[in-house]
Structure 1
Amino acid sequence: MAVRARLDTTVDLGEIPESAVESMLRISGRAEGTGFLVLAELPSATSGVQARPFRVFGLARRVGFHALERGDVALWKSVLARLDSYAGENETLEAVRTSAILASTACRFDVRFAKRALLHFVDQTKEHQNQAASVLGLWHVGGAALAVGAMSVAVSAARVVVERNQVDLLSALSIPENLETEKLKADVMGGYLGDDGASALRSFVSMAQSLRLAF
Structure 2
Amino acid sequence: MSERLVAPTFLFRFAAPCLYAQDIWSAKGANLTPKHILPCFGELEGKRIHTEVRAGWSEAGLAFVFHIKGKTQAPWCRDSRIDDSDGVQIWIDTRNTQNIHRAGRFCHRLALLPLGNGRKLDEPLISLLAINRAKESPREIDPRQLQIKCERKHDGYVLQAFLPAATLTGFNPTEQPAIGFTYAVLDRELGPQCFTVGQEFPFAEDPSLWGTLNLSK
Same fold flag (TM > 0.5): no
Q: Which has the higher helix share?
A: 1
Higher relative contact order (CA 8 A, sep 6+): 2
TM range (shorter): under 0.3
